[in-house]
Chains A and B, each alone.
Chain A
Amino acid sequence: MLDDYFRQYALIAIFILGAAMIPVGMLMLSWLASFVRIRPNKPNLVKYDLYECGVQPIGPSHWTQFNFRYYMYALLFVVFDVETVFLYPWAIQYNVLGLLALLEMFVFVLILGIGLVYAWRKRALEWE
């Protein structure tokens, strides 16, 4: 039984290896094509500029300013993603646990729901 359990994970591991090999193989094939002159390679100073509607980019661009709203969404996401960690085992064992589990989970989600309503009223969900 335990042997079969690990066998499934071994299959997944081999599958991940195979799944990564196909795109890598495609990139390698494309790279090898440049040696037999099927794929052109004509470097040019302008060609290697960043694309910005025909204008030279000004200043460092790897980290531009970004909207503060993204941070609020990330914060909310963490709260509700942790909630699902509790919901999944609850859902699997639900038909054994019965009414008490339903009430407990209702209280738990209600507390988080109040948090969502608070964020909503504070206009954290608006994009302004």
Chain B
Amino acid sequence: MAFLEGHALFRNLYCLLAGNLDNTVACSGRGGLLPVGWEWLAFAITAFAITMVLLNVFLVVTMFYTYMERRLLGRFQGRLGPNRAGPFGLLQPVADAIKLLTKESIVPRGTDLLLHNLPPVIMVATVFVTLAILPFGEDTFVANLNVGVLFFLAITSVNALAIFMAGLSSGNRYAVFSGMRAVAQLISYEVPMVLSVVGVILLAGSLSLVEIVEAQRIPFFLLQPLGLFIFVVAISAEMNRTPFDQLEAESEIVAGFHTEYTGMKFGLFYLAEYAAVLTSAAVIVTLFLDGWNGPWLPSPLWFLIKVFFLAFLFIWVRATLPRLRIDQTMAFAWKFLLPLSLLNIFVTATLVLLLGEETATGVALSTGGLWAMAGINSVVALASVLLFARMVHLRTPVHPIPSMQPSPSEVA
């Protein structure tokens, strides 16, 4: 089934330790190292081994991703990017890690040490924990949690708390402002993010990420174009990527919540930020892009290709769009994304009833019905985004902020 039962490495480890005839894991009949009745310990040790292998692989992938992001940003901005350490600069992340590990740790006077040291750990841990529920390939997942989507949403919202703690701990004014902005922005974008997933759940009929992948007879991004758009925008606001990086706007509030962080703690914040891009991309792939499904290639490879494709899109957006003002950021969440996500839910729910056929277990959609729904939903998505943007006047500010420059009449 999962890692434990399906992969020979971990199954053999479990059998070496426990070796009994537990129904879930098929071992040979011989006894293991641990006495009978201690299977739970064998289970715990094996699970810990799985965790460590998975997280360390993920760390290496994240290191490669930071290199990729810096190289691509360089290319987007017409420069080379890091190319000195190792061949093509591939050892740049290693050099960065060594540098951050050996930097002096400077903690300002009057800092609350507990509040200061916890946030980097919480931020990295919450990003890592997302991996526990993701299906990486066919029958390759750590835990098939039946409330997987809720677990992911709950885990990402812990970020707001960690950032607020980091902002308050040192007493730096810029950090406090950043903490305030973080809470406002993260909770505002959480609402459309949570609502945009409802359409997916409606179609899949399950909260488990493993079952959502299996339910995608045609990929959900065709059935839920509006949901995908809202989810991608909201999740890039949740992980503070550039169009929404109000919390670390260096032209306004220095570096935001990590102004007073140095050395490895600062490094952990950046590790969490880059790792969040990969896990968010992985969640989008799972919910909307058909997960690990794909022809010819092995399933984990397909998953990785899709994740890196989305990560590339995130880098592209970062290189292209300028930062929004805080009032634009908040207005976009409440006036634009929230009504659209509500519309998306009801359009999807109505279409399920209209196009579905009555079966013994309730309303179900045939493949033809799904394609009809995909057509209608893409038209609805395009029309509603264009019409709504015109309606709420998001292109021009309704109340222009008085500028410091003299008006043309005064100049003349």
Contacts and interface: CB of A to CB of B under 8 A. Distances in A.
Interface in B76-129: 100-109, 117, 120-121, 124-126, 128-129
A88 interface: yes
A88 to B, nearest CB: 7
Contacts of A66: 176-177, 180
A116 B222 CA distance: 29
A111 interface: no
Nearest to B255: A51
Interface string A73-109: 1101100110010011001101110110010011001
A26 interface: yes
How large, as a class, is the contact surface on chain B?
Answer: 35 or more
Given A33-B102, A66-B180, A127 B330 contact: yes
Contacts of B187: 73-74, 77, 81
Interface in B249-270: 254, 259-260, 263-265, 267-268
A5 B171 CA distance: 45
Contact of A50 (B151, B172, B363, B364): B172
Given A10-B47, A11-B143, A23-B268, A88 B172 contact: no
Contacts of A17: 48, 51
Contacts of A40: 104
Given A22-B124, A26-B268, A127-B327, A88 B44 contact: no
Interface residues of A, number: 74
Given A91-B202, A126-B399, A23 B171 contact: no
Contacts of B326: 127
B120 A27 contact: yes
Contacts of B120: 23, 27
A62 B331 contact: no
B150 A88 contact: yes
A118 interface: no
Contacts of B13: none
Contacts of A15: 47, 51, 128-129, 131-132, 142-143
A94 B171 contact: no
B172 A81 contact: no
A101 to B, nearest CB: 9
B106 A95 contact: no
B172 A51 contact: yes
A7 B263 CA distance: 38
B349 A94 contact: yes
Contacts of A19: 51, 55, 124-126, 128-129, 132
A73 B188 contact: yes
Interface string B325-361: 0110011001100110010011001101100100001
A87 B207 CA distance: 12
Given A19-B51, A126-B327, A48 B129 contact: no
Contacts of B108: 48-51
B202 A94 contact: yes
Contacts of A113: 339, 342
A16 B268 contact: no
Interface string A49-76: 1111100010011111011011001101
A69 B183 CA distance: 12
A91 B268 CA distance: 37
Interface string B38-52: 000001100110011
B273 to A, nearest CB: 13
**Which of B331, B349, B364 is the most central at the interface, judged by chain A CB atoms within 10 Å of its CB?**
B349
B124 A23 contact: yes
Contacts of B101: 26, 29-30, 33, 39
A62 to B, nearest CB: 5
The 8 tightest CB contacts between A and B, nearest first, are: A127-B327, A18-B51, A19-B128, A30-B264, A95-B362, A96-B362, A15-B132, A23-B124
5 contacts: A19-B124, A22-B128, A26-B264, A80-B338, A125-B334
Interface of B: 24, 43-44, 47-48, 51-52, 55, 59, 100-109, 117, 120-121, 124-126, 128-129, 131-133, 142-146, 150-151, 168, 170-174, 176-177, 180, 183-184, 187-188, 190-191, 194-195, 198, 201-202, 205-207, 254, 259-260, 263-265, 267-268, 271, 326-327, 330-331, 334-335, 338-339, 342, 345-346, 349-350, 352-353, 356, 361-364, 398-399
Given A11-B132, A57-B173, 4 more contacts: A17-B48, A19-B55, A95-B352, A109-B346
